[in-house]
Chain A
Amino acid sequence: MDLTSLSISALREKLVAREVSPLDALDALDARISAVDDKVHGFLSRDLALAKAHAAKADLSLPLGGVPIAIKDVINVTGEPCTCGSRMLLPYRAPYDATVIAKLRAAGAIPFGRANMDEFAMGSSTENSAFGPTHNPWDLTRTPGGSSGGSAAVVAADEAFAALGSDTGGSIRQPAALCGIVGVKPTYGRVSRYGLTAFASSLDQIGPFTKTVRDAALILDVISGKDPMDSTSLDQPVPAHTALLGRDIRGMKLGMPREYFIDGIDPQVDAAVRAAIRHYESLGAEIVEVSLPNTEHAVGVYYIIATAECSANLARFDGVRYGHRAESSGLLDHYGRTREEGFGPEVKRRIILGTYVLSSGYYDAYYLRAQKVRTLIRDDFTRAFAQCDAIVCPTSPEPAFKLGDRADDPLKMYLADIFTIATNLAGIPGLSLPCGFAEVDGKKLPIGLQLLGQPLDEPRLLQIAHAYEQSTDWHKARPGL
């Protein structure tokens, strides 16, 4: 039996029954990684000895006892690298655990492996990693999506039972869709950001990549909740995310946003998503058309707010206290060279853009106006949710694209996130789950179905996703590596 293909739930059953030990699980993963990660390049590093030390002490009575979980290389884990996919942080070792890591440990899980990503989470293909791209396990010539492409790929390729990623404009959902797994971006403030290297503070949220909807619920149970170290975390009780799984969705209203079914969307994606919606109808859900009229502004607003925030968030990388430090003469030269050598082109592009929109004389026209439009986008969702329980739409307008295809065209790359960005601007939860395959060049490429919910309505989103998953077989397909 191949341990690595198990879901968390299935692994937990075997662990609790003492059929396998946490060390067995780690060894199996390590063997799998050794076998396939040369091709996938989902991990930047992994410390098997450290993970084994934790596994030896794992308390199997805890909810995630003995379960190794891969971590996107943007989340701090004591003693481990946290490069954020950047040369800037190559020499850096994290001196502390992010709150999500502390919570995972307290639930018995074992952080294992640092997943590749676009540099500082800026990108939609993982090609912006300073350490080389991750390859899509379904077709190694294609991208796994991004920015959490490593996290998505290692779960899809059975190199991890689950992974944590971060989602600022779609960085969990889009790679989950392109790799054929489940990915959840929780409500803004549901999960603590303490220890997540910030890209855009008002948009970033940590979430899980899993093989099943139930596994996502298990992880959300553990990582959600108020954190005194993060002022923006919500002081709201954490429900059991598994509570509604398996319940009937008959009579539930699902909204189809007219603006998300547009020309230019890949026909196979369009067909798969429409088929999924018909499937929901067959399960007893009522489909209503809703409108999100400000959708067209989402990408523009996002690239003002996200870049403005990142221009300040990334200012701390100056080589004074940690990280890359260039040879230089004098202070200004030090800053210039360190940041010139440390950052890649996309990061520089966004810092410059963000610096520009915050500049005196431009602030009102860009940043302030973007904040106003952001409110309109949020209002769109509030109105839509008055008519439906959840929104159903594509996650990505297309299946995985070829590596190198977009690398030179940032604007085209930015459009990969058109269906995911508004969610972050509104702060609502979103989820992607497999809903079919596109046939491209004789390869099967996964297609993702996106579900969006009201703030803190994760349990119901999971219920709706679970109903689809359990009545279809898409999630059972594995890439042939």
Chain B
Amino acid sequence: MPLIPTIGLEVHVQLKTRSKMFCGCAVEFGAEPNTRVCPVCLGYPGALPVMNRAALEMTALTGLMLGCAVPEVCKFDRKNYFYPDMPKNYQITQYDQPLCVGGGVPLNEFAYPKDAQKSIVNPGKTVRLTRIHLEEDVAKSQHFESSTGIDFNRAGTPLMEIVSEPDIASPEEAFAYLIALQQILIYGGVSDADMEKGQLRCDCNVSVAEPGAPLGVKIEIKNMNSISAVRRAVAYEIERQIAAVQKGERLVQSTRRWDDDSAQTFEMRSKESAHDYRYFPDPDLLPVDTSVFMDEVRTRRPELPHEKRDRFVRDFGVTPYDASVLASEKALADYFDAAAKSARKPKNVANWIINDLLSALTTAEKTIVDCPISAHALDELVNLIDAGTISSSQGKEVFAAMFATGAPAAQIVEERGLKQESDSGAIEALCQQAIANSPKAVAEYKAGKLQAINSVKGQVMKLSQGKANPVVVSQVLEKLLAE
């Protein structure tokens, strides 16, 4: 019998609040160590936690975006264990009454790794969520040669834990889950969700078993620093477990550490040494009545990536692939929405964004937010082309100038005298001149070699200094040569 993997993810997300979870200290990265601290986040005697309402609201918003239920009451508990990065030696977290329950993350085709998009096993899959809860982050330890320093600036940062059901069946699905989740978190403005910056951290529970059999022994893997590292680590772990089981080894419940350099996992601790966290309700905090803020939070739910993608296809006639590229980032989607609104052919606007604008931005090391061409300006350019006022090759030139100077398309067209010649009378004169100059090509065309017309057409374009409307040129040439 083949062994199949079962994977569940626990994702920790740092929320983008101004202040910490239980005190007024600023949430700020890169500050001088231990300068964003106070008696509360340092666990001083007598200090008490006070809940950050914005963090509660952002978590509830995340729940709404992911289709979770938000119970009317949630509460906070103490999770007890000793570690130097934990100021109180207990963490305030949510044990049995989390802020959000249920929900799911829909996996879209384009969230999968590029090399796996052609072979998606279960298209349209949604990974169910168990819960989302809110807690405080710990401090950051820095190990020196003979000592360890602790920076408490991070201690107390609001941290949201998103726990999935064991619904994930492959490393590629784990990858797609994280990409899709990350997109949604960024869309909601709840986190920048950058794994490399530690704003999103992921622990994976992996087990293998025969199909239909009860789940195998759960092994947790930690210490992946990117989404592709998660894919690699899960793939490695599945292989390792399958090989072990096939060799007749008995796996034990344990936690393993991924080492990206050697591309292997190593055991950190087994279940025997697991903590008893002695959870109990935090007497310093009252249970939270979520109904106080839910009505307002509901008004903040944004249109989600997959919803935007569907609308772009439906309303603007964009291909599903282009739609998902445009919807991949909220600022980009907003840009497209603004440009497409007044476009003659929204699909052409999409093409200009995807083929020209994005690469120009990449080359210039800019993002859509500081794009020198406004959505409206791009729309004007595309409309000039679609109206036949300028040719599309002229359009490229105009685009480059717009990108460099920020000037509107009409102005550049005017300044450079780029207007496309569409007057068939004027074009006819040029065509006759070109026919007269190309007896050989004309003869070949008349003899049935139809592509010979292209060299005549090239002549016309040259004579017009590129301004002749190529469509009109073709029509006129065909008419003249048919005579």
Where the two chains meet, the residues of A that have a C-beta atom closer than 8 Å to any C-beta of B are 75-76, 82, 84, 89, 92, 94-96, 98, 193-198, 200-202, 228-232, 308-309, 311-312, 315-318, 320-322, 331, 335, 355, 358-360, 363, 367
Contacts and interface: CB of A to CB of B under 8 A. Distances in A.
Given A315-B80, A355-B278, A359-B276, A193 B90 contact: no
Interface string B66-105: 0000000000001010101001111000000000000000
Contacts of A228: 50
B408 to A, nearest CB: 53
A119 to B, nearest CB: 13
Nearest to A82: B45
A84 B89 contact: no
B48 A230 contact: yes
Nearest to B38: A96
B49 A231 contact: yes
Contacts of A355: 278
Main secondary structure of the interface of A (DSSP, over half): loop
Given A193-B48, A194-B47, A230-B48, A320 B84 contact: yes
Contacts of B88: 312, 315-316
Interface of B: 39, 42-51, 78, 80, 82, 84, 87-90, 150, 276, 278-280, 283-286
Nearest to B40: A229
A363 B46 contact: no
Nearest to A309: B283
Contact of B286 (A76, A200, A232, A316): A232
Main secondary structure of the interface of B (DSSP, over half): loop
Contacts of A232: 283-286
Contact of B90 (A194, A315, A331): A315
B82 A92 contact: no
Contacts of B90: 312, 315
Nearest to A75: B46
Contacts of A197: 45-46
B80 A312 contact: yes
Contacts of A309: 283
A193 B40 CA distance: 13
A232 B88 CA distance: 19
Contacts of B150: 320
B278 A359 contact: yes
Given A84-B45, A194-B47, A231-B51, A201 B278 contact: no
Given A312-B90, A318-B89, 6 more contacts: A92-B45, A198-B46, A316-B44, A316-B87, A318-B84, A359-B276
A195 B44 CA distance: 9
Nearest to B50: A231
A95 B44 contact: yes
Contacts of A194: 46-48
Given A197-B45, A312-B78, A96 B50 contact: no
Nearest to A89: B45
B401 to A, nearest CB: 57
Nearest to B148: A331
Contacts of B45: 76, 82, 84, 89, 92, 94, 197-198, 316-317
Contacts of B42: 321
Q: Name, among B39, B45, B50, B78, the residue most crowded by chain A CB atoms within 10 Å (CB to CB).
A: B45
